[in-house]
Structure 1
Amino acid sequence: MQGILSIQSHVSYGHAGNSSAVFPMQRMGFEVWPIHTVQFSNHTHYTQGWTGHAFTADDIAEVVRGLANLDVLTECQAVVTGYQGTAEQCSVVADTVAKVKQANPNALYVCDPVMSNPEKGCIVAPGITEQLINTLIPIADVIVPNQFELSQIANMEINSLEDAVKACHKALTKGPKLIIAKHLHGIDKQNFNMMLATKDGVYLAKRPLYQICKEPIGVGDLITSIFTAGLLKGWSPLQAFQHCHDAVHGVLKTTFKSGEWELQTIAAQDELINPSEHFPAELVEQHSESYA
């Protein structure tokens, strides 16, 4: 039984981390083997607070050992990672990716490099950003940063389309083969801008930016999961990017119409398969030599 190993946070209520990522990959036809880095009652942006705790690095390693004992790592098609609770968990992720790729050299590693961004209200434990930049991003096949994370990886500000392209060039020199840069508000603030950067070209797609009552949490996890599933279907990076962009728009549109804050992924599940609207990606740069 082939599957996707998804190592990230989990919330009981709502959709963030594995609670946002697992179902879309299942709905697109894949078995998913989730391992939770933390288990919380809800995501941390609620003013009422949250309950739960982070798992230790040993807890995660123990589950991976159990999978290895079943001899199923050969059937792992991809490792997907998002929010990590401790810097030690990042080390376990690196070990896990190595084990999976040893068992199945064709397996992908897709990393959503969740970093501390106090302005957004996202806080991660000390040492995680350094581990992401120095350990996980260099071994990733695909990274899915937001604008803040991309700026940290590239060590530059992003205030224009040209800046975003340059930052992607710099990030590609760190090791990944593909980059999905999400919510590039430095390009413009009227749209949700997503960029695909490959060795062959850079593409930009825009969709309406809905004014939901509060900024939805878990959108990045949704993007990462849908794009991963598209690649595993054998689609080209551009096809997977285009489908991901349109499908996520469908989920956000449904969320906006519902008046809810939490992503309405279940209600909008048909959008994961057949997006109802199409926003063509535009080629903004082709055959750049700056990172070839």
Structure 2
Amino acid sequence: MSRPPLVISIQSQVVLGHVGNSAALFPMQAAGLEVAAIPTVVFSNTPDYPTLRGRALPADFFAELLLGAKERGLPERAAYIVSGYIGSPEVAELTAGFIAEAKRLNPGLTYLCDPVMGDAGPGLYVPGSIAEIHRDQLLPLADLATPNPFELSWLTGRDLRTLDDMRDARAALRLAEGARLITTGCALEDTPAGHIESVILSGPEVTRHPAPHLPIALPGTGDLYAGLLTAALARGRSLPDAVEMAQQLTGRALQRAAELGAGEVVLSDPALRKTLLQLENDSILPNP
């Protein structure tokens, strides 16, 4: 029996709630993927609570985890690497070095960079030095990038009102030539009323994927979306189909959170779990 696709997921981890790896691991594992989770920070909860315990991993400790992953041959085996929230410039530098080496060892590896840096409400919520490492070192390695509009605007210095603005931002972003940009949560001048959309720019090709705009903003939404997207892609869905599924299931998770009165995304919606379990059975590509 062949092993399922392996994903290395380098993100935050919390004790309570679902953000970072605590949001992204579930959809990938439910879809039957093997996931190696490497934390960048370990916190008691998200920063929205009155207290926050924990810290960013010390650089030497994080480097040991990366070394252990290399000693176990994970970069050579991985189908995907996903990176998300990073809590210190030192860890960001180490992450970039690890991914660059992994891509040299494994040319078939796909790297999804979710540059978790900020949003329209809070603004930039990581130090500028970390945002700059995303821009200058991590994104140039990416095969897929999933910034929100605030992040894309910060990274490129451009306002995003039209599709032409999106194209200009893609040209200004330091992505490799063949990389695909998926900007999530867009509200452009011609986005249908009451909707937001994901916009995929893949070379000259552009596809737009509107979804109802839910008046719910919760921590972990983008991390869950990235995990869902990776799960669908690793199970053989095309990028447009994977984006549609990620949007639909993220919306289900937000609605479930609203019904429960939760302050962050939840993963207990039965339809969400059923769809993820079905992904493995419906896998379009054979397991590597």
What range is the shorter-chain TM-score in? 0.7 to 0.9
Q: C-alpha separation between the residues in 2 aligned to 1:3 and 1:252? A: 27
Runs of 4+ deviating beyond 6 Å: none
- The equivalences for 1:107-256 within 5 A come to 107-117=109-119, 119-120=121-122, 123-171=125-173, 175=177, 177-187=179-189, 190-212=194-216, 215-256=217-258
SS of match in other structure, 1:132: helix
- Paired position in structure 1 for 2:11: 8
Q: Per the alignment, do residues 194 and 107 of structure 1 end up closer, same or farther by CA in structure 2, a change over 3 Å counting?
A: same
Give the partner amino acid of 1:247: L
Query: Is 164-173 or 232-241 further displaced after alignment?
Result: 164-173
SS of match in other structure, 1:43: coil
TM norm structure 2: 0.86
Q: Is the CA contact (8 Å cut-off) linking 1:141 and 1:175 kept in structure 2?
A: no
User: Which of 84, 89, 92 matches 1:90?
Assistant: 92
Give the partner amino acid of 2:197: N
SS of match in other structure, 1:182: strand
Gap regions ≥5 residues in structure 2? 280-288
Instruction: Give the share of equivalent positions with the same residue, in percent.
Output: 31
Q: C-alpha separation between the residues in 1 aligned to 2:124 and 2:53? A: 16
Q: C-alpha separation between the residues in 2 aligned to 1:116 and 1:221? A: 13
Q: Is the CA contact (8 Å cut-off) linking 2:75 and 2:102 kept in structure 1?
A: yes
TM norm structure 1: 0.85
Gap regions ≥5 residues in structure 1? 276-292
Give the partner amino acid of 2:243: F
- Paired position in structure 1 for 2:282: none
- Displacement of 1:243 in angstroms is 1.9
Deviations 1:107-145 (A, max 9, x none): 111101122458426521341111111111111111100
Query: Is 182-191 or 105-114 further displaced after alignment?
Result: 182-191
Give the partner amino acid of 2:75: L
Q: Per the alignment, do residues 126 and 154 of structure 1 end up closer, same or farther by CA in structure 2, a change over 3 Å counting?
A: closer
State the number of aligned residues.
Answer: 272
Q: Per the alignment, do residues 36 and 205 of structure 1 end up closer, same or farther by CA in structure 2, a change over 3 Å counting?
A: same
- Displacement of 1:218 in angstroms is 0.9
Q: Per the alignment, do residues 118 and 144 of structure 1 end up closer, same or farther by CA in structure 2, a change over 3 Å counting?
A: closer
Higher relative contact order (CA 8 A, sep 6+): 2
Q: C-alpha separation between the residues in 2 aligned to 1:273 and 1:45? A: 31
- Displacement of 1:87 in angstroms is 1.1
